[in-house]
Amino acid sequence: MNPSNRRPSTQSSANSQLVEQEERRADIGFGTKITDSHSRLVNKDGTFNIVRVNGTLWDRLNIYNRLIVMGWVPFFSWLLTGYLLANTLFAGIYMLAGSDTLIGVDDRVLNGPFWKCFFFSSQTLTTVGYGHISPNSFLTSCIAAFESMLGLLAFALATGLLYARFSRPIAHTRFSKNAVMAPYLDVNGWMFRIINTRDNQLINLQVSVSLSRIEPKSQSDSTLTRKYYGLSLERNKVNFFPTNWTLVHPITSESPLFGCTPQDLEASDAEFLVSIQATDDTFAQAVHTRYSYRYDEILWGYKFQPMFDGTQTSTVTLDLDRLDDVVEAELN
Amino acid sequence: MNPSNRRPSTQSSANSQLVEQEERRADIGFGTKITDSHSRLVNKDGTFNIVRVNGTLWDRLNIYNRLIVMGWVPFFSWLLTGYLLANTLFAGIYMLAGSDTLIGVDDRVLNGPFWKCFFFSSQTLTTVGYGHISPNSFLTSCIAAFESMLGLLAFALATGLLYARFSRPIAHTRFSKNAVMAPYLDVNGWMFRIINTRDNQLINLQVSVSLSRIEPKSQSDSTLTRKYYGLSLERNKVNFFPTNWTLVHPITSESPLFGCTPQDLEASDAEFLVSIQATDDTFAQAVHTRYSYRYDEILWGYKFQPMFDGTQTSTVTLDLDRLDDVVEAELN
Amino acid sequence: MNPSNRRPSTQSSANSQLVEQEERRADIGFGTKITDSHSRLVNKDGTFNIVRVNGTLWDRLNIYNRLIVMGWVPFFSWLLTGYLLANTLFAGIYMLAGSDTLIGVDDRVLNGPFWKCFFFSSQTLTTVGYGHISPNSFLTSCIAAFESMLGLLAFALATGLLYARFSRPIAHTRFSKNAVMAPYLDVNGWMFRIINTRDNQLINLQVSVSLSRIEPKSQSDSTLTRKYYGLSLERNKVNFFPTNWTLVHPITSESPLFGCTPQDLEASDAEFLVSIQATDDTFAQAVHTRYSYRYDEILWGYKFQPMFDGTQTSTVTLDLDRLDDVVEAELN
Amino acid sequence: MNPSNRRPSTQSSANSQLVEQEERRADIGFGTKITDSHSRLVNKDGTFNIVRVNGTLWDRLNIYNRLIVMGWVPFFSWLLTGYLLANTLFAGIYMLAGSDTLIGVDDRVLNGPFWKCFFFSSQTLTTVGYGHISPNSFLTSCIAAFESMLGLLAFALATGLLYARFSRPIAHTRFSKNAVMAPYLDVNGWMFRIINTRDNQLINLQVSVSLSRIEPKSQSDSTLTRKYYGLSLERNKVNFFPTNWTLVHPITSESPLFGCTPQDLEASDAEFLVSIQATDDTFAQAVHTRYSYRYDEILWGYKFQPMFDGTQTSTVTLDLDRLDDVVEAELN
């Protein structure tokens, strides 16, 4: 921009070779600047290895999402904690409003007035309302009316959260611990294996695999930059997923892995990013899952063992424990 | 892999005929190894004929999915059982905490202290809380406060489950009991018929049919292997599905069924796998359904009878009972 | 089929002209046999003009769908009726179990024992449980425990239904009462107009229009059959739908309407089937809607009037009442 | 149309140049007539700048959608107001039915009979039902039975609304305050930047940008009309969105912005309409978002600063506060 001339214009070189070249460059969203080899791009649980700072408090708390994603034990711990805190808070308020206006039961059998207020609060919040303790003044009646409404809303929230947690579409897909470099037909192949651990039926699976590695920017410019390559698969789509599925990237001369050694992969901080999309048949919901294999999770010269039980009778039996079973195999 | 030389490389033959051939092979997800002719691939209810072993307990229980998929009678039986068990459990706990601290009613009219505890538990769990029985000690008040919270959560769960069961997108599509091999225009056609049994409107139906059969691996290799063929349909897509729809695979010279006899199908353990995808108009939800016809469910030389009522007045009448009506017809 | 020869084969003429011809025939799902001109295919509310008979009771009731689709007044009437019936039923059961075991209030102030039972039932079913009436026997306690559980489930159901009704994706799209045949550029066009009546934002609208009419089967065969034509639109897709949208099928020589008169349309029982698909932005839900114009709902030689308010200030004003405003216009 | 001749026909000129030209014209749904330069098409919150008049009351209220879209503070204010109003209304009804038939507590401790009725109503509506106040006549029992049912339904509604608000798919995408015109490779580029402010993972992002501006209708016709151009982007799709993403429209000779000055954009009331579609990974839900940049929100001769924290350790740190950081840069 030329500040002295307040009429900048977008008229520059008409057609640009560089623009076309840039448009062809593959990028799956991580950009080219993450070249530090100590970090992986995609964690084992499918999350990304990025930390956000300076977001708003609300964004950082991200309450709904956290309550959905966390495990069942923390979830119920939070619920119980919230319930105890709310009752403690309201017990305090009833104490201030006068615990003697909550009548019907002798304080002493409930360990004093605070606990009477606490239990009254719990009976109000859950709307169980036995009535053996009841508010006997205008003020405590008001508080109780408000608390019971809060109770309803909290209940509503819990309903929604529990339903959302349960109905959340998760692909119960397990990945083999390691990928292998195995002989494949008359060449070699980079392979990994997945199974559906549940009886839910996953249909219309689609898998895409990208290779990410650090390379010099171009033959003339040796600045390190992260590059991405889509890997062609023997088969990237199946209609049904009843058994195990071994995904194979055949290493032909078109493959970016052609001619690579394990040392090459390590030197270039290679990471294989796997992305799976499917439909869970129960609710016809889309499910997505991600995984990644780093260079040090690839077994060179091994192949997967079959997972089917040998004693095949009228039903086919799939042994989930054999997912990671590999055996040495000479590479072509 | 050559263990003595720790530098395996993926450089092998550059271009592979076998790889390209393998990539062209159709596979819908069952693999080639299920060649036992005693089992069908897809059961009549659309599930797959595969048994998983060694999954985790949680995966095997698969509680949410089971509670959604099971029939209404088992569902309500489980609910009732759960309710009775929970109340029995809490009745036991109240007994331990001292049944005499639940006051307000004479034990004897309720068949003794256990049942008093049981009914108090039920009134707490459902939050009905009449209060004619009420906790009169610190300990029982604590238990009741906890139980009423559990009751809320259980309620929340039941709400979610019931809603999920009701709103689950199911294609109420009925398939004709048999497929037929019937004359079709100047050739023959393999046909089956579907109807929507409900007044819900299904739109944008898409049907795909695959033939699965056991064949020698190639002309030179007589190992039996399971092969898959997509069958072209006269029409595989309609926008609306108000009436019945007869799906036709015309047997032209391109068809893998060309020249087949019923004996051929039986010998090759042929199974026709049908997969339907549609949109249920009420909630604009995707619905998926699967079905399969085995060789012994195909009537050779029969055709379907019309399902429309002859007495067509201002509205068109579709008689669902005629879905399976066939009549003999000489094949071309 | 030749029953005397138990080896029918599908080998007939190899390639069929008729098969290819049939595959090219457009059919949107209604089939060719509905040729009775007294019925329309798609009703004004988007339902199909087909009656099913002999379905199962469950399929015919189709309870969930009905409760979702019905208006709010019938919905709440059914809820209230169900509530009253359930209470009457349980009141009867409590009467049989002995109304004198429900203690705490004098029968006479509640118009006798039946009403005492009725109100106790209502307090149990809704879990309000005041406790001024309470069960004082084993049997009535059992019934009350069961009823309160039923109450929870009924509540759960009502929650689900209400949520489903509210959250159901409906395109609040209003169609102009009539389609018009109007001059369009240098030809004529068949046009209709739609608006979004709500402030919800509909995005990615896609419209398809089919013409259905009765014609002789072919030049040689004069049997009447129903044929379908997709009508090309000036524009069948918009990203946003903030204002009104006039859909135009230009009548060029490719149009099946080319050279048609109003009399031709009437004689062939012409019906224009409109199908709209969009995304409701609030929940990113797909919405579908259908409509149809019959030959007698087309105004020949009229065009639509603008719907924008003349006094355009900083905001654009769209007057929904002008949707059907047309004015005469000479056809080209 | 020729009214004297009641047989209008659609036979006019067979093929129309104008029709084909019109079919090629880009329109994203706003039409060509909004040429007033005081209004923007898309507001900053993604809504459209259109006012509807004469809709039905129900359409204008649009209750469900409003309750979903409004902020949390107004939402809870409405809930509380509704609760207080309902209790006031029912308190009035109980007063009419005779406040002395609500027995069990002395009016005076609750500030008189109206408040007794009010608190009884609140205990009924929330189904807390302590029972220290209870209906002691047929009429008040009836009202209470009805009110408790209403309470259940209101609760159901609140549950649904809260769940819908929480689970609503919103892209927490923040747009840079300004777009910039910056040097890009060997040309210039129009750029803006987006980040995902939450840890939710957005996948499969797709962005489209349209330029809308007022131009003469054609070289011969100088009537002002609003025209739309799709802008090609360096990259309009990424699989993952873990960090920031700078969208670039390279200004090559194909660009409608080629040779434009800031003054040109202002004169033609240029507005850049951005539309983003993605999948929120938590629920595999589609999310849509819109934004727009007007000519006066574009900084000419500035470029974006990196958002990554310089002190890159094992995790990559993204500083959300730097989203709008720009620095002067001379244009090519």
- Whether C148 is in a domain gets the answer yes
Whose tokens are 């799209």? That residue is: C173
Q: Give the residue from B119, B144, B167 where a domain finishes.
A: B167
- Whether B32 is in a domain gets the answer no
Q: Domain check: are A192 and A136 in the same one?
A: no
The Cα A229–Cα B132 span in angstroms is 72
The 3-state DSSP class for residue B189 equals: strand
Binned at pLDDT 50, 70 and 90, residue A69 comes out as confident
Distance to chain D for C122, nearest Cα, Å: 6
> In this structure, what DSSP letter does residue D181 have?
E
Whether pLDDT at A6 is above 60: no
The Cα D53–Cα C316 span in angstroms is 11
- Whether B128 is in a domain gets the answer yes
Whose tokens are 């809930």? That residue is: D79
* Domains of chain C: total: 2
Q: Which pLDDT does position B1 carry in this prediction? A: 39
- Whether A251 is in a domain gets the answer yes
Whether pLDDT at D25 is above 80: no
Binned at pLDDT 50, 70 and 90, residue B192 comes out as very high
Comparing CB atoms, the residue among B119, B314, B330 nearest residue C145 is B119
Whether B193 and B176 have beta carbons less than 8 Å apart is answered as yes
D174-to-B83, B190, D70, D199, D235 alpha-carbon distances in Å: 48, 56, 19, 13, 19
Mutation target for C interface from D20, D45, D52: give the one with most C CBs within 10 A.
Answer: D52
B187–C16 C-beta distance less than 8 A: yes
Residue B288: give its domain's CATH number: 2.60.40.1400
Contact residues on chain C for D285, CB-CB shorter than 8 A: 284
Long-range CB contact pairs, A78-82, < 8 A, 24+: A79/A158, A79/B149, A79/B153, A80/B149, A82/A154
Whose tokens are 């990113």? That residue is: C284
Whether pLDDT at A3 is above 60: no
Mean pLDDT value across residues D119-124: 95
Q: Domain check: are B197 and B314 in the same one?
A: yes
Mean pLDDT value across residues D254-270: 91
Which of the pair, B153 or D13, is modelled with greater confidence?
B153
- Whether A108 is in a domain gets the answer yes
D81-to-B189, D10, D156, D289 alpha-carbon distances in Å: 67, 60, 17, 32
The Cα B232–Cα B247 span in angstroms is 10
Q: What is the mean pLDDT of chain C?
A: 85
Mean pLDDT value across residues B101-114: 89
C166-to-A18, D62, D137 alpha-carbon distances in Å: 52, 11, 37
Percent of chain D scored above 90 by pLDDT? 42
Q: How many CA atoms lie within 13 A of B169 on its CB side?
A: 21
D259-to-A10, A74, C61, D101 alpha-carbon distances in Å: 5, 59, 67, 84
Which of B54-63, B123-132, C249-258, D222-231 is the least confident region? B54-63
Mutation target for B interface from C138, C139, C140, C141: give the one with most B CBs within 10 A.
Answer: C141
Whether pLDDT at A159 is above 60: yes
Q: What is the mean pLDDT of chain B?
A: 85
Comparing CB atoms, the residue among A126, A162, A197 nearest residue B55 is A197
Q: Domain check: are A187 and A296 in the same one?
A: yes
D120-to-C163, D80, D112 alpha-carbon distances in Å: 28, 17, 13
Mean pLDDT value across residues D40-61: 78
Q: Which pLDDT does position D286 carry in this prediction? A: 86
Q: Domain check: are B313 and B263 in the same one?
A: yes
Q: Give the residue from D167, D182, D202 where a domain finishes.
A: D167
Comparing CB atoms, the residue among A126, A187, A243 nearest residue B31 is A243
The Cα A76–Cα D55 span in angstroms is 47
- Whether B14 is in a domain gets the answer no
Q: Domain check: are D270 and D192 in the same one?
A: yes
- N- to C-terminal Cα distance for chain C? 59
Residues 6+ apart with CB under 8 A from D277: D205, D206, D207, D286, D287, D288
Q: Domain check: are D160 and D184 in the same one?
A: no
Binned at pLDDT 50, 70 and 90, residue D203 comes out as confident
Write out the two tokens for B254: 């391109």
Contact residues on chain A for B12, CB-CB shorter than 8 A: 186-188, 251, 331-332
Distance to chain D for C142, nearest Cα, Å: 21
A283–B52 C-beta distance less than 8 A: no
Task: Tell me the pLDDT tens digit for each residue of C242-251.
Answer: 888 999 999 9
Whether pLDDT at D64 is above 60: yes
Which of the pair, B109 or B124, is modelled with greater confidence?
B124
Mutation target for B interface from A128, A282, A331: give the one with most B CBs within 10 A.
Answer: A128
**Residue A63: Cβ-neighbour burial (10 angstroms; 0-12, 13-18, 19+):** exposed
Q: Domain check: are B87 and B196 in the same one?
A: no
Kind and range of the H or E run holding C121 = helix C113-125
Which residues constitute the domain of residue B118? 64-167
C148-to-B329, C97, C125, C154 alpha-carbon distances in Å: 61, 17, 5, 10
Write out the two tokens for B215: 């064949």
Q: Which pLDDT does position B62 carry in this prediction? A: 80
Q: Which pLDDT does position A310 carry in this prediction? A: 57
Q: Which pLDDT does position C9 carry in this prediction? A: 65
Q: Which pLDDT does position C224 carry in this prediction? A: 84
A319–B53 C-beta distance less than 8 A: yes
Nearest to A247 by CA among A272, A216, A281: A272
Whether pLDDT at B4 is above 60: no
Q: Tell me the residue type at A325.
A: D
The Cα B174–Cα B289 span in angstroms is 10
Cα A305 to chain centroid, rounded: 29
B281-to-B239, B299, C44, C252 alpha-carbon distances in Å: 12, 34, 16, 34
Mean pLDDT value across residues A69-84: 92
Which of the pair, C314 or D133, is modelled with greater confidence?
D133
Distance to chain D for C46, nearest Cα, Å: 20
Binned at pLDDT 50, 70 and 90, residue D298 comes out as very high
Whether pLDDT at C170 is above 90: no
Q: Partners of A263 in the beta sheet?
A: none
Residues 6+ apart with CB under 8 A from D168: C282, C283, D68
Q: Domain check: are C319 and C221 in the same one?
A: yes
Mean pLDDT value across residues C128-157: 91
Q: Domain check: are D197 and D320 in the same one?
A: yes
Binned at pLDDT 50, 70 and 90, residue C40 comes out as confident
Distance to chain C for D292, nearest Cα, Å: 13
Per-residue burial over A290-299, b if 16 or more Cβ lie within 10 Å, else e, is bbbbbbebbb
- Whether D152 is in a domain gets the answer yes
Q: Which pLDDT does position B176 carry in this prediction? A: 94
Whether pLDDT at B118 is above 80: yes
Task: Tell me the pLDDT tens digit for each residue of C56-114.
Answer: 777 777 888 888 888 899 999 999 999 999 999 999 999 999 999 999 888 888 889 99
DSSP secondary structure, B38-95, as one string: TS-SB-TTS-BSEEEES--HHHHH-HHHHHHHS-HHHHHHHHHHHHHHHHHHHHHHHH
Binned at pLDDT 50, 70 and 90, residue B299 comes out as very high
Chains with at least 3 CB pairs less than 8 angstroms from chain C: A, B, D
Which of A223-227, A270-274, D306-310 is the least confident region? D306-310
Task: Tell me the pLDDT tens digit for each residue of B234-262.
Answer: 888 888 888 889 999 999 888 999 989 99
Q: CA-based angle A157:A162:A168, to the nearest 5?
A: 120
- Whether D30 is in a domain gets the answer no
Q: Which pLDDT does position C84 carry in this prediction? A: 96
Q: Which of A7-21, C189-203, D151-165 has the highest mean pLDDT?
A: C189-203
Residue B86: give its domain's CATH number: 1.10.287.70
Q: Which pLDDT does position C185 carry in this prediction? A: 86
- Answer positive or negative: Cα dihedral of D151, D154, D160, D161: negative
Q: Give the residue from A140, A167, A194 where a domain finishes.
A: A167
Which of the pair, A178 or C310, is modelled with greater confidence?
A178
The Cα B145–Cα A83 span in angstroms is 10
Task: Tell me the pLDDT tens digit for each residue of A229-278.
Answer: 999 998 888 888 888 899 999 998 889 999 899 999 998 889 999 999 99
Question: pTM of the full predicted structure?
Answer: 0.84
Contact residues on chain B for A82, CB-CB shorter than 8 A: none
B131–D127 C-beta distance less than 8 A: no
Q: Which pLDDT does position D3 carry in this prediction? A: 41
Q: Which pLDDT does position A64 carry in this prediction? A: 83
Q: Domain check: are D162 and D182 in the same one?
A: no
Q: Which pLDDT does position B28 carry in this prediction? A: 77
Q: Domain check: are B155 and B235 in the same one?
A: no
Which of A174-188, A231-245, C56-70, D38-52 is the least confident region? D38-52
Q: Which pLDDT does position A78 carry in this prediction? A: 93
Q: Domain check: are A323 and A177 in the same one?
A: yes
Which of the pair, B295 or D217, is modelled with greater confidence?
B295
Which of the pair, C88 or D9, is modelled with greater confidence?
C88
Whether pLDDT at C255 is above 50: yes
Nearest to D95 by CA among D145, D149, D140: D140
Q: Which pLDDT does position B57 carry in this prediction? A: 78
Q: Which pLDDT does position D315 carry in this prediction? A: 67
